[in-house]
Amino acid sequence: MKMIIAILNSDDASTVIHNLMKEGYQITKLSTTGGFLRAGNVTVLIGVEDDKLEHCLEIIGKYSKSRKQLIPSSAEAGISFYPSMPVEVVVGGATIFVLDVEQFKKV
């Protein structure tokens, strides 16, 4: 058995979760915040049997696409502040960890 920990962009999360549940996967959803952009994320925990791992990862990959977005940045030099210039960053997609599960119990 495997435990998938998938960190999803908030914009993608509902579609990913809907499609995982449609395929019969049971998930636990956690609201989280990213460190770099301090943007809202959703972390999902999914326990899957080894033979279903690739299928589950395909669903996550299909519905969590990365895209470019402009965000404001601010520069500071000494005591003066300069107007913020937008910076293009990649958002979305998924960060996925797959862990071996030694034991699983549902009580």
- pLDDT classification of 99: cutoffs 50, 70, 90: very high
The count of other CB atoms within 10 Å of the CB of residue 44 is: 21
What is the CATH code for 2-66+93-100? 3.30.70.120
Reported for 60-64, long-range contacts at CB under 8 A and 24+ positions apart, including other chains, are 60/4, 60/6, 60/8, 60/16, 60/20, 60/94, 60/96, 61/94, 62/19, 63/12, 63/15, 63/16, 63/19, 64/6, 64/8, 64/9, 64/12, 64/16, 64/92, 64/93, 64/94
Which tens digit of pLDDT belongs to each residue from 82-93? Answer: 556 777 766 678
pLDDT score, position 33? 77
**Does residue 74 carry a pLDDT above 70?**
no
The token duo for 9 is: 């962009």
Cα Rg, the chain, nearest whole Å: 18
Which tens digit of pLDDT belongs to each residue from 22-59? Answer: 999 999 999 887 665 566 789 999 999 999 999 999 99
Closest CA to 93 of 14, 9, 5: 9
Name the least confident of 53-57, 76-80, 103-107.
76-80
The structural domains of the chain, with segments of one domain joined by +, span 2-66+93-100
Interval 68-86 mean pLDDT: 61
Interval 11-28 mean pLDDT: 95
